[in-house]
Amino acid sequence: MVKVKLLSHLGRAVGVQETAVDADTVGRLLSTLSKQYGAPFDTHVRMCKVLVNGTNVAFLKDTRTKLADGDEVVLMPPMAGG
């Protein structure tokens, strides 16, 4: 199982801030979550960064990034402050 965290307004939109999913790649994990939570998830996830154990998947293998048991995936909408 992979631990998934949904931050900020993504978490609020789907009503869950933390969950666990059984998936072996980022792509499968996202489609599982999409099926589970539907439109609110799809709307917000388009803008989200996906981090696997703290590293942005854009610098790994994008959706083909492999996931192992116990990995932590964070879906993070853009944010800023100052």
Partner 1 sequence: MAITFAGYAGRILDVDLGRRTWGLYPVPEATFEQFLGGKALAARLLWDLIEPGIDALSPENVMVFTTGPLTGSGAPAASRFNCSTKNVLTGGIVSSNCGGDFGLHLKRAGYDGLIVRGRAEVPTWLQIDEHGVRFLDALHLWGLEVEAVQHELPAKAGHVVIGPAGENLVRFAAILSGERVLGRGGVGAVMGSKNLKVITASGARRMRFHDPKGFGASLRKWVQTLQKHSITGGQLPRYGTAAMVTGTNATNTLPTRNFQFGNWEHAPDVSGELMAERDLVMNDGCSSCPIRCGRMINHTGRHMKGPEFETVGMFGPNIENRDLRRIYDWNHLCDQLGMDTISLGSTLAAAMELKDRGLMPDLPVAFGNHDAMDALLHDIAWRRGIGDVVAEGSMRMAARYGAPEVAMHSKGMEFAAYEPRAAVGHGLGYATSNRGGCHLNGGYLVFFEALGPVNIDPLTPLAKPALAIFQQNTFEAVAASGGCIFPTYAILPDMPAWAVNPHGASARLFGEVLKLSRKILGGQGRMSPKSLGFHVPLIPHTKSVETLTGIRMRLGSFTAVGERGFTMERLFNLREGLTAEDDALPKRLTDEPQHKDRPDSVVPLKEMLPVYYQVRDWDERGVPRNRLIQKLGMDYAADVVQTLEKDPGAFKARRTQVFAREDGVLREVLAPARKWQQQAEASREALRAAFLRSRAIARADRIRQSLFRVDEVRCQQCGLCAKACPVDAIRWSEGSVAFIEQDKCIRCGECWVACPPHYDAIALDPAQPDQDRTAVAYRVIDEKCERCGICYKKCPVDAIAWQRKEIARIDDALCVACGRCKEVCPPKWAAIVCEPRVVNPQAPTP
Binding residues (CB under 8 A) for partner 1: these are: 5, 7-9, 11-12, 17, 26-27, 30, 45-51, 54, 56-59, 62-63, 74, 76-82
Q: Cβ 8 to partner 1, closest distance in Å?
A: 5
Which residue's CB is nearer to partner 1, number 32 or number 63? 63
Residues ≥6 apart with Cβ < 8 Å to 55: none
Q: Cβ 22 to partner 1, closest distance in Å?
A: 18
